[in-house]
Amino acid sequence: MDTEVFSEGYVKFPRKFIGSCIWTEGLWMVYSWCTMKARHQNGHVGLQVGRGQTIVTLEPGQFVYGREKAAIELNMKPSTVRNRMAKLEKLGFLDIKKDSHYSVVTVCDYESYQNGSNYEGQQIGQPKDNQRTTKGQPKDTNNNVKNVNNGKNANNRGSVRGKKKREYTADFLIFWDTYPKKVGKGAAFDAWQKINIDPEKAEKIFLAIKQQRQTAAWLKEGGQFIPHPATWLNQERWEDSPAVTLTRPRKYHLCNNCNKMIYEGEGMKAMGVYFCNQECFEKS
């Protein structure tokens, strides 16, 4: 039997997404589409802007986004695509930088999810969990694993058998990945289980983390004053009033025609230089 070769490549998704706050038909379809559209390595894309052309530099996990084209590929209304992209950004799964002529979407944690060494568990060459062992199929363990197991002391086996690995829920694992202080995972999970999580509350929690991690209190001295995750959850700190976030100086360029200051995300870029608008571009 011939094996099909997937010439266009593939992407990886951790199983923690199952049952998560984006595990709905609409949100998951848009998120997985974004992941498949994202570049896997650095590169450049040429775009037609007015009468000129601009070159956009993209990093792994990024792609140039146009709502109309996305609506066609996803078979959705443009307004539906816009709303779902906005919700994914609020939840911290996407970051969208808008330009006057196009938008660049970044899939958050893209490189982490696509790095195979970050996945624990099933080894390459082993059968799937639900695959039965029959003649002609791979055995339950490969030789290396079998030899290691046989070499263990029986007493050690007995002591390990009594331990049960804690199983974390998908929503909690997303919270744990998002929260900047990785301390007391078990206690945090116990606190998480006390909360009746629904999509609306999950959105509120992830949005609060995204806002609070930019505040002076959380950035001070390398994050020493960030509450432990269990404390943050037990005290329902996502209900805190939004704090003032630190602002960084905005980058700017000078218009190649009139020398007016153009802040990042404004104006247009063509042939490697910046212009206020199409009129300045045509006059240059």
The ranges assigned to domains in the chain are 15-113, 170-239, 252-283
Beta pairing, strands 261-263 & 94-98: unpaired
Burial class from Cβ neighbours inside 10 Å (0-12, 13-18, 19+) for residue 34 reads: buried
Model confidence over 89-127: pLDDT tens digits?
A: 988 899 999 877 788 999 998 988 998 888 875 544 444
Amino acid 228: pLDDT: 92
Q: How far is CA 242 from CA 207, 208, 222, 251, in A?
A: 10, 8, 21, 25
* 34 within 8 A of 107, measured Cβ to Cβ: yes
- Which residues, given as ranges, of the chain have pLDDT below 70? 1-7, 50-52, 121-165, 242-250
Q: Return the half-sphere exposure (C-beta side, CA atoms, 13 A cut-off) of residue 269.
A: 17
Beta-bridge partner residues of 262: 253
Start-to-end CA span in the chain (Å)? 62
Model confidence over 148-167: pLDDT tens digits?
A: 444 444 445 444 444 556 78
What is the spatial distance between Cα 91 and Cα 88, in angstroms, rounded to a whole number?
5
**The dihedral of CA 34, 37, 39, 45: what is its sign?**
negative
What is the spatial distance between Cα 251 and Cα 49, in angstroms, rounded to a whole number?
21
What is the number of helices (H) and of strands (E) in the chain?
12, 9
Amino acid 267: pLDDT: 80
Burial class from Cβ neighbours inside 10 Å (0-12, 13-18, 19+) for residue 37 reads: middle
What's phi and psi for 190, nearest 5 deg?
Answer: -60, -40
Residue 279 contacts by C-beta under 8 Å, 6 or more apart in sequence?
none
What is the spatial distance between Cα 93 and Cα 32, in angstroms, rounded to a whole number?
11
What is the four-CA torsion angle of 30, 36, 38, 43, rounded to 10 degrees?
Answer: -160
The correct answer on CATH 3.50.40.10 for the domain covering 15-113 is no
Amino acid 243: pLDDT: 57
